[in-house]
Structures are given as C-alpha cells and as structure tokens.
Amino acid sequence: MKNETPIRVLFVCLGNICRSPAAEGVFQHLVDQSELLVEIEVDSAGTSGYHIGEPADSRMRSAAGRRGIELTSRSRQVIPGDFSRFDMVVAMDRSNYQELVREAGTYDGKVRLMSEFLKGPDKDRFPEEVPDPYYGENDGFEFVLDMVQAASPGLLEALLER
Ligand code: 4NP
C-alpha cells in the first residue's frame, strides 16, 4: 500500500519538446523499475509556450525509443500553480533555472538544476547544463539522454530523502 500523497517532480526546459520530455520519460522509467514504497508523480513543462500541445520532437522520441523509453507527453507551459503542486522543479539549463526562480516567488527553494544530481565521475563527464539539441545533429539527442540517465538515480535518491 503506497502513501496517499505522492512526491511530485516537474522537469522544465525551454520548449518542452526535447530535453524535459526526455527527462520525464527517463525518470518515469526509473521509477517504474524501482520498487518504491511511495508514489512518485512525474511531469514536464516549458518556460516558453512555443510548442504547446505538440508531442516530443520526433528525433528525441526515436532516440528514447531505442533505449526502451516511450515519450508520450505533450508540450505545456509552466503555470504559477506548478510551484505549489510540485515538490521539486528541475531545470535543464541555467536560463530555465533563472526564469523558474523568478516565477517561483516564495517557492524558489524548490527549483534545482538537473546536473546537481550527477554523482562521482559523472560530475566531470557532463556539463553543468543539459545542452539544447534542437538545432543540432542526432548525437545531441543521445547526449541529452546519456546525461539525464546519469542524473536520474541521484535525483530519485534526493526526492526519497526529503
Ligand atoms: P527544448 O528544446 O527546450 O529542449 O524543448 C527546444 C525546442 C524548441 C525550441 C528551443 C528549444 N525553439 O526555439 O523552438
């Protein structure tokens, strides 16, 4: 029997079609594979409204699919209520982070950067920001997945420790 109030985590990037849907899918997959005593609710959103209603970028869906991860979410923009609803709001890059802190008001302590959850050698292998793959080549999508897969166990640990 799981507890009634889930732990809620929201992943955020600019467009909510590449990085944050990938983080959402990867993290959901990790949660599904872990035998947890608590329920964890996972969602994603964008700081911009450029792509509202769109599925994740097809290049990111293909790359994730090759890793056995299905990306099903549709783009939405961050809303003010997200900062009270979610326990943690995880930004992909510094620009998202700064925008979220500005919007969060008194909830600014919930805003974190994805790379904070990298551990050990992964802290040196990956940059501070999850790079935007939108205008790049296919290896950019693979790199985003590598990075969010590396950071996800540390994030899960941090959420469970709260
Ligand atoms: P995301 O990538 O923030 O990882 O979803 C982007 C997608 C679209 C745009 C920028 C970044 N855009 O400018 O349309």
Pull the structure tokens for residue 160: 């469970």
Backbone angles phi, psi at 16, to 5 degrees: 55, 35
Segment 81-106, tens digit of pLDDT: 999 999 999 999 999 999 999 999 99
Q: Is the CB of 15 under 6 A from ligand 1?
A: yes
Report the separation in Å between the CA atom of 144 and the middle of ligand 1, taken as the mean of its atom positions: 13
- Report the distance separating Cα 3 and Cα 7, nearest Å: 10
Tokens representing 52?
A: 């509202």
State the distance from the centre of ligand 1 to the C-alpha of 14, rounded, in angstroms: 5
Tell me, what DSSP letter sits at residue 81? T
Given 57, 82, 93, 132, the catalytic residue: 132
pLDDT at 2: 56
Q: Write out the H or E segment, with its range, that includes residue 98.
A: helix 94-104
How much is the pTM? Answer: 0.97
- pLDDT tens per residue across span 107-148: 999 999 999 999 999 999 999 999 999 999 989 999 999 999
From first CA to last CA, the distance across the chain in angstroms is 20
